Structures are given as C-alpha cells and as structure tokens.
Chains A and B, each alone.
Chain A
C-alpha cells in the first residue's frame, strides 16, 4: 500500500510539471476577457466573423472564456483521474514473472486509447454544444485547433504522470518508461 501511495505522489508531481499551465489558463478564463494577445488569438483563429451576424466579439468572448475554462477543468480532471488510476492499478497488474510486463503494454495502449477518446469526446461535446452561445460561432479551423491542442496537451500531462507513477515492475508496459534508470523513483 505504501508503494501505491508513493506512486500516486510521484504521479501528482508528474501532473504538476505541465498541469500548472492548465490551472493558470483556467483561472484566466474565469477572470474574464481582457484585451491581450490571447483574446486576439481567440478572435482571429477560433471564431467566425461575428459581425456578419450582427454581434460584437467582446460580448461573445465572455461565453467563449467560460466554455474554455469549463472544458479545461473537465479535461484536467480526466487526465488526473486516468493517470492516478493507472499509477495505482499498475501495482495490481499480475506481472509475476520476468518478461510478463511487456504483455501489459497492450493494456496500457487500450487504456491510453480510451483516455484519448474521452478527451476528444469531451472537447467535441464542448465545441458543438448548444449550451454555450460561443460554441455556435466557433469556426471549423477553430474547432480543429482546440481539438488538437487540448488532446496533445492533456495527453502529455497524462503521459508524464503515468511514466513517473507507474509501478517499477510495470514500466515495460508503458512506452519508453523502461528507459528510466533502475532505481529512479
């Protein structure tokens, strides 16, 4: 049990390595839109020309920020739950003899695939939802940018957390985790 707690601690440190960016981003989103580069980026790359529909971007931006903030909270929670769950469960994988850890690479790939699918589904849900007014004005390019950036970013957070949090004997089942030094963490 102690080893599981240690793994969870290492995993949390792994999450924090990139996760702090997400936290700051979420805070910014809930503080509200302010004229800065980020707002410009959103206006120029994510949203269609709203003036065509008789709307002002500045009114839409508030809704967009809430959408992005909420979506990131959910994605961060998913990355956190999935990585911690793997770190804990890796201690229970039945790796009882030499050479068996590799077999569990399949399990890890499926697990990671499920995690990616959840991230994509959540992002897709938020960007197409009618619950948020701003979602109706997201351009196709904008949706693609959000989808890719969010997926890559949260996958990275999850991957780093999993690499450092996986039980030592299960490292061969996580991509490149077996390259870590033997006594590392």
Chain B
C-alpha cells in the first residue's frame, strides 16, 4: 500500500505538522509521501512544516541505517518512512509576483470572455499580487489553480502520476488532502486538486485501487485585525469565514451529490473559535500556532491510511467533536485504529521528548572525556557503551561525530515536540473559556501570545523541583515518574538486530510507556 498526503495552504501545512509528530510517535502508516501546496511559499506555517519534514526525514534515516544506528522495523519511534520531493512545496503559479490577470492572460481574451471575467472578479482581485497566496479568495485561487497544468514533468504532479500508475499496477494507493474550507489556497485547492487527480485517473483508465480522502477544516480560529492595517488590502477576514464556509459547504454538497471525488471526508471545526493574538496576511511572518482541531484532522488522515480502514463504494463523511464541557481531555483524542492508541503513543512521545531533552540528551552530548563519567551507570553500560563500542579502536564511539550528530538532531527534534505540544496547549484555549487538560507545561515553558515568532520559550535547564513535576506532565493521573523511565531503561530488553544509538533511542521511547 502506498500513501500520499497533501497539505494545501497554511492550514494544510499545520495539519501536516501534527501528522508528522503523530508519525514520530508510531501512529503513522509504514510509508508516506508528503507534499504541500501553497502559492505563498515563504509563509511561516509552510516553512515551519517544511523544516520539520526535513528534520523528520533526516533523523529517521540516521536512526534506521542498517548496521550503524538501527531502531529496526519493530520500533514505533519514527515508524513511518516519510519521503518528499527535494522541494516539498508546490507553488501553483511560478514567477515573481503573479496576478490573476497574468495567469489567465486577460489581455489576450476575447471581449465576451473578458466581460465574463469582469463579472466574476473585481478590478482589485484581477490585479491582486498572488505571491502571498490567495488571501481567503477561493474564487481567485480556483481560477489560478485551474489555469495551471498538472504536468507529468512537474515534481509534484509526477508523484501523483506515479501513484496512479501504482494503482494501475494493482497496488492500493491512498491520497489524503488537508485543507481549510474558509481560506483562499486551501478552499480553492481542496476540490480542484482532487478533481485533477480523478481526471488523471480517468485519463489513465485506472478504475480501482485509488482512494482519495480529505480533511476539511471548518472555521476553528479567529483573530483581531488591527484597524490601521491594510484597510484597502485583500486578506482573510475572520468576519467572512462563516459566510464563506456556508457557501463552500453548499458547493460541496452539490459537488458530492453528482461526483464521487472523495472516498472519505473528515470534517472538523471548533466552537468556540480559538483566538489568535497576532495577525499577518501572509509571508514569513504568518506563523500561526498549532491548534487542537488540526490534530483531529491529522488523526483523521492516519485513520484513513490505517489498514483497518475499509473504504466502501459510497462516499463517507465523518465528523468529530470533543466532549461537551469546556475542558479538553485525553479522552477527546480518538484512536487511529483498534491497535493504535493515540493517547498512549502521544503521551509516550511527550515523555520521551521531556526526558531526552533535559536528562539523557545532555548526558550524551560531547566528547568521550565529557561523557565517560556516566560509563559505570547501568543504562549507559548496557545501551550506549556496548552498542557504540568500536572493537578495532577498542573504545566507545559515543563522542564520534556520527553519533554526536544523531544526539544533537534528536535534541533539536525533542525541542520541537515540546514547543509544538506546549504551543497547542496554550494557543487553543488562549482568551477563551476553554481549558486544556492534556499536559502540565507551566513549569518548563513560558508563553507569550503576542510574540508570533517565539510564542513559546522552553527552559534550557530544569531544577530538581521542576524535574519532580514530571509525574504530572501528562494529566491523566498516572503518576509516571522519571524514576520509572530510568528503571525501564535498565531493565527493558533490547531487540535483536538493533544497532548503535538506535538501541538507546528505542528503549528510551519504550521506557516512557505507562
């Protein structure tokens, strides 16, 4: 089975971000190709996911290197083999600062067609600079996207062609699309990209084995637009989100009635809307926080990819919601399948990030002369010394550049995990009556909602009292302590064929299980 995931627009990228964290916790499928679509390539949300994607791919490959550092295929840590194009983002309109007029070659159109275009688009829309996306105007986005070609030579579309060819060859192929219904790029791309895929499928005469799923994000956040900002400019106006959604849902209901584009659609929203404290119309400064409802979309995608998911003949539409109180609980997180417990895996990942970032990562960082003070400790002896010992050189190679690269990339990735979960924890409920009751993060982080580029600051070091609060990190009343992790590290059995630092990483991850 081959799986493909496409995140369209800023929301699509953020859903993909959640999905990657879920994949690192072992909730993902065996294999996944990931790509993003956005006209605004410099967008902060897109770049954040792009960086995360490349970090994931790199760390996974260095921890799955046969004979060197190998977690082995049994390990849940970074289970999913995620691949992507060298440039993971597809920009529908190439060239500097394109406008709709240029894209549809307005000047060359016949007068009657020009008239039609004039009816559909105002003068400012035709001349709108599209380098920062479609600014919540799906009508512009749709026209621009339909004007582009799905060329087989294009790296993005070549993957889709490949997927369809695989389906023709008899392999089951699943394509999933993340998008918002109320934005510009997402709302325009969601139906159009799916339709293009179906068109290619028809063109190649593939009748089975290709399934398309999608997560459609209904309005789930809102922001205050400063009065002084962009009075004249076209941008995503929160006040229009609900109207846009209403219109779009009406459109989809008609579309789905006549054309089975999607096999499964997962619809998610949030009420009351999360309130973002910063607003940027686009570009690298638009760095919106990860929000809880995006996690639902990611889990929807993982459910779609799950082997247990049986896709029927009829189009299915799924909705999900949390409990009716104002509290967000672990029980609100659905399982991916009967065998994959989302809560367990995510809790394990968070504990892993915490213990690695503050306890074990620093202990393993540096040259042998710095690290050797731990050489008599049992966890080090059985998991590090034994597996990084070079028989030829007769020395432990943990201080070697190769191992140190893994240690530092993992530290970096763990910091990302902590920032992600903390940001989601704070930002989802900021300035609302809601309460997030998933983790306890006040003791290791600081939150500044106004600082879009650095909302969350994770402490570099923790004192003993702060470390002792670890047992309350996951708010499920489990009282799982750092001592339990240390104990597990010393007793959990290693798996056959595990090599190098892969042994330690896998055991540490498994040690974080309740």
Chain A: residues with CB nearer than 8 A to chain B? 3, 91-99, 101, 167-169, 171-172, 178-179, 181-183
Contact = CB atoms under 8 A, between A and B. Distances in A.
Interface of B: 358-360, 363, 373-374, 376-383, 385-386, 467, 470, 481-483, 485-487, 489-491
A98 B382 contact: no
A168 B491 contact: yes
Nearest to A96: B482
Contacts of A94: 483
A80 to B, nearest CB: 24
B481 A169 contact: no
Contacts of A178: 376-378
Contacts of A167: 487, 490
A75 to B, nearest CB: 31
Contacts of B487: 3, 91, 167-169
Contacts of A101: 377
B504 to A, nearest CB: 12
Nearest to A170: B378
B374 A169 contact: no
B481 A96 contact: yes
A172 B477 CA distance: 31
A124 B420 CA distance: 65
B483 A96 contact: yes
B359 A96 contact: yes
Given A178-B378, A182-B378, A183-B382, A99 B491 contact: no
A32 to B, nearest CB: 48
A169 B377 CA distance: 7
Contact of B486 (A169, A179, A181, A183): A169
A71 B374 CA distance: 42
A171 B378 contact: yes
Contact of A98 (B377, B385, B467, B470): B377
Contacts of A3: 487, 491
Nearest to A167: B487
A97 B381 contact: no
Contacts of B385: 182
Contacts of B382: 182-183
Given A3-B491, A96-B359, A98-B363, A169 B378 contact: yes
Contact of A95 (B380, B386, B486): B486
18 contacts: A3-B491, A92-B483, A93-B483, A95-B483, A96-B359, A97-B486, A98-B359, A98-B363, A98-B374, A98-B380, A101-B377, A169-B378, A169-B379, A169-B486, A169-B487, A171-B377, A182-B382, A182-B386
B433 to A, nearest CB: 37
Given A97-B363, A169-B486, 10 more contacts: A95-B483, A96-B483, A96-B485, A97-B467, A98-B380, A99-B363, A169-B489, A178-B377, A182-B378, A182-B382
A46 to B, nearest CB: 43
B464 to A, nearest CB: 9
A179 B378 CA distance: 9
A157 B95 CA distance: 82
A96 B383 CA distance: 17
B299 to A, nearest CB: 32
A40 B442 CA distance: 74
B489 to A, nearest CB: 7
A84 B188 CA distance: 70
B490 A169 contact: yes
B490 A99 contact: no
B208 to A, nearest CB: 51
Contacts of B489: 169
A178 B467 CA distance: 25
B377 A172 contact: yes
A85 B484 CA distance: 20
A9 to B, nearest CB: 14
A14 B91 CA distance: 70
A3 B378 CA distance: 15
B360 to A, nearest CB: 6
A171 B467 CA distance: 22
Closest 8 CB pairs of A and B: A182-B382, A96-B482, A182-B381, A168-B490, A98-B363, A178-B376, A168-B378, A97-B359
Contacts of B486: 95-97, 169
Contacts of B373: 99
Q: Which residue of B358, B382, B483 has the most chain A CB atoms within 10 A of its CB atom?
A: B483
Contacts of A92: 483
A92 B484 CA distance: 9
A99 B380 CA distance: 10
A98 B360 contact: yes
A95 B359 CA distance: 11
Contacts of B485: 96
Contacts of B481: 96
Nearest to B355: A97
Nearest to A3: B491
A93 B379 CA distance: 16
A51 B231 CA distance: 119
A3 to B, nearest CB: 6
A87 to B, nearest CB: 14
A88 B128 CA distance: 73
Contacts of A179: 376
Contacts of A172: 376-378
Contacts of A169: 377-379, 486-487, 489-490
Contact of B374 (A93, A99, A168, A171): A99
A96 B245 CA distance: 51
A99 B360 CA distance: 10
